[in-house]
């Protein structure tokens, strides 16, 4: 019984091969943006109630990318739950970049506020954050993801090896992930930020204090923040050493 169902599926897949190839070349985002070269302007940030249908369709595209990445990560979390003593993933969160944040970033980059520019120039509209216990876990999880055949790496920014001048540390990956819609496949860009619990503590609290709030900190305050980042880095290094002594990170 099972075999015949499998045969049926295989046969129908063979029949669909040509169809599949044709559909894979269609790109959701191109369908949404139309072939017309007409620029579609971003909806106004002051009128959130009236966000255009087209904008919402594009956001659905990014949400689908997030869902795909979260599914991948959730499978890993469950696998580690069953097969390991501990989990290299502490928690996962995600967000679609807000319209305000999108327009601010585009203004900062001097880009026209159109959907075409948004799609072409911003690769962090879909964002997933993965918090791991140890530094080695960050690279371990990142490696698993980038080695999956439906994931293509566009960019890697290693702010752990090269922290930002203000002390920000994290590993950023921009990936293109395959997403299957009802009648075609698209590649969706997703930014994945991977960091330790200590890095996350620093980034979250620093964000609360000032990030993008146009608050000007005095050099002394900036030095304090940098100092806190160094403390976090020291704690991470010590925890990593302990983990290695207990052989908990030799997956």
Instruction: Give the footprint of ligand 0O2 on this chain (CB under 6 A).
Output: 97, 101, 124, 127, 157, 164, 166, 168, 172, 203, 206-207, 211-212
Asked whether 184 and 29 are in contact (CB, 8 A), the reply is: no
- Give strand ranges (E) for 167-216: 171-180, 185-196
3-state secondary structure of 176: strand
Burial class (CB in 10 A: 0-12, 13-18, 19+), 145: buried
CA 49 from chain centre, in angstroms, equals 26
In whole angstroms, the minimum distance from the beta carbon of 191 to ligand 0O2 comes to 7
In whole angstroms, the minimum distance from the beta carbon of 155 to ligand 0O2 comes to 8
Q: Which is nearer to ligand 0O2, 118 or 172 (CB)?
A: 172
In whole angstroms, the minimum distance from the beta carbon of 138 to ligand 0O2 comes to 15
* Separation between Cα atoms, residue 111 and residue 102, nearest integer Å: 11
* Separation between Cα atoms, residue 59 and residue 44, nearest integer Å: 15
Q: Which is nearer to ligand 0O2, 88 or 189 (CB)?
A: 189
In whole angstroms, the minimum distance from the beta carbon of 174 to ligand 0O2 comes to 8
Of 207, 69, 50, the closest CA to residue 146 belongs to 69
DSSP H or E segment with residue 232: helix 219-245
* Separation between Cα atoms, residue 103 and residue 246, nearest integer Å: 48
Q: Which is nearer to ligand 0O2, 137 or 191 (CB)?
A: 191
Q: Which is nearer to ligand 0O2, 63 or 206 (CB)?
A: 206
In whole angstroms, the minimum distance from the beta carbon of 11 to ligand 0O2 comes to 46
Distances (CA, A) of 127 to 38, 98, 122, 150: 28, 11, 11, 18
In whole angstroms, the minimum distance from the beta carbon of 57 to ligand 0O2 comes to 20
Q: Which is nearer to ligand 0O2, 33 or 194 (CB)?
A: 194
Q: Which is nearer to ligand 0O2, 102 or 243 (CB)?
A: 102
């Amino acid at each position: 019984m099972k075999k015949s169902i499998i045969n049926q599926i295989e046969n129908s897949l063979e029949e669909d091969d040509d169809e599949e190839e044709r559909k894979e070349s269609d790109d959701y985002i191109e369908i949404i943006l139309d072939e017309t070269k007409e620029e579609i302007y971003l909806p106004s940030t002051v009128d959130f109630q009236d966000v255009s249908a087209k904008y919402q369709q594009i956001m659905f595209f990014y949400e689908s990318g997030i869902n795909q990445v979260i599914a991948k990560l959730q499978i890993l979390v469950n696998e580690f739950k069953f097969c390991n003593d501990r989990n290299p993933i502490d928690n996962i969160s995600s967000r679609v970049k807000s319209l305000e944040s999108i327009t601010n970033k585009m203004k900062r980059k001097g880009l026209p506020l159109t959907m075409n520019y948004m799609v072409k120039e911003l690769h962090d509209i879909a964002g997933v954050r993965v918090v791991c216990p140890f530094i080695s876990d960050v690279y371990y999880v990142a490696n698993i993801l980038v080695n999956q055949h439906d994931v293509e790496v566009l960019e890697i920014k290693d702010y752990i090896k090269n922290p930002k001048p203000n002390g920000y540390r994290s590993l950023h990956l921009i990936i293109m992930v395959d997403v299957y819609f009802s009648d075609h496949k698209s590649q969706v860009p997703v930014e994945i930020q991977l960091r330790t619990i200590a890095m996350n503590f620093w980034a979250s609290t620093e964000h609360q204090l000032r990030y993008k709030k146009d608050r000007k900190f005095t050099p002394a305050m900036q030095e304090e923040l940098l100092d806190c980042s160094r403390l976090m880095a020291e704690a991470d290094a010590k925890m990593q050493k302990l983990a290695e002594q207990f052989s908990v990170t030799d997956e």
